[in-house]
Amino acid sequence: MRGLLVLTVAGGSVAHATLTPLVSVRDVTPDLPLIMVVLLALRRGPEFGCLAGFVTGLLQDAAGGGLIGVQALTKAIIGFGIGVAGERLRVSQPLVQVPGLVVLTILEGLARFALLQIFRFPAPFGELMIYVVLPQAVFNGFVGAAVVLSLAASQVVRERFAGLPS
């Protein structure tokens, strides 16, 4: 199970760089690793979320060709934060998770921008927010909703089959 999770995290983040351009809408792509980190952190807790965020972010950085460590840092923090929130708050409802994903995408964008500023990497704030972060946040919301709903559906099916007498 743990191996499968590692494979999901590692493979998913590399797949993001390779496959998401194919599902882009007007050049906007969803941040699949972020969605994955958030959902995993909610189910597995802060340590797993933090580690998953770190690994996926690192691989995303390596695959994307930017500064290595930027997304690893932001996603590790998000994975940790969401894991802690999942333990203390009621965040299991899709109506919370989906808007949460949108907000988290924006927060991740802001954090990434701040890091790039600290490490003197040129990035125009306004354009980044308008053309990259906000559309991606909306896209993540839609994709996240689809993922959450399909997970909930699969959970229902699994429970129904588990209840059947053998």
Residues that bind other proteins (CB under 8 A): 10-11, 14-15, 17-19, 22, 46-47, 50-51, 54, 58-59, 61-63, 67-70, 72-73, 76-77, 80, 84, 115, 119-120
Q: Quick one: 61 or 108, whose CB is closer to other proteins?
A: 61
At its nearest, how many Å lie between other proteins and the CB of residue 121?
8
Q: Quick one: 61 or 148, whose CB is closer to other proteins?
A: 61
Q: Quick one: 80 or 139, whose CB is closer to other proteins?
A: 80
Could you write out the DSSP letters of every residue in the chain?
Answer: -HHHHHHHHHHHHHHHHHHGGGG-BTTB---HHHHHHHHHHHHH-HHHHHHHHHHHHHHHHHHHTS-TTHHHHHHHHHHHHHHHHHHHS---SHHHHHHHHHHHHHHHHHHHHHHHHHTT----HHHIIIIIIHHHHHHHHHHHHHHHHHHHHHHHHHHHHHHS--
At its nearest, how many Å lie between other proteins and the CB of residue 45?
8
Q: Quick one: 52 or 147, whose CB is closer to other proteins?
A: 52
At its nearest, how many Å lie between other proteins and the CB of residue 47?
6
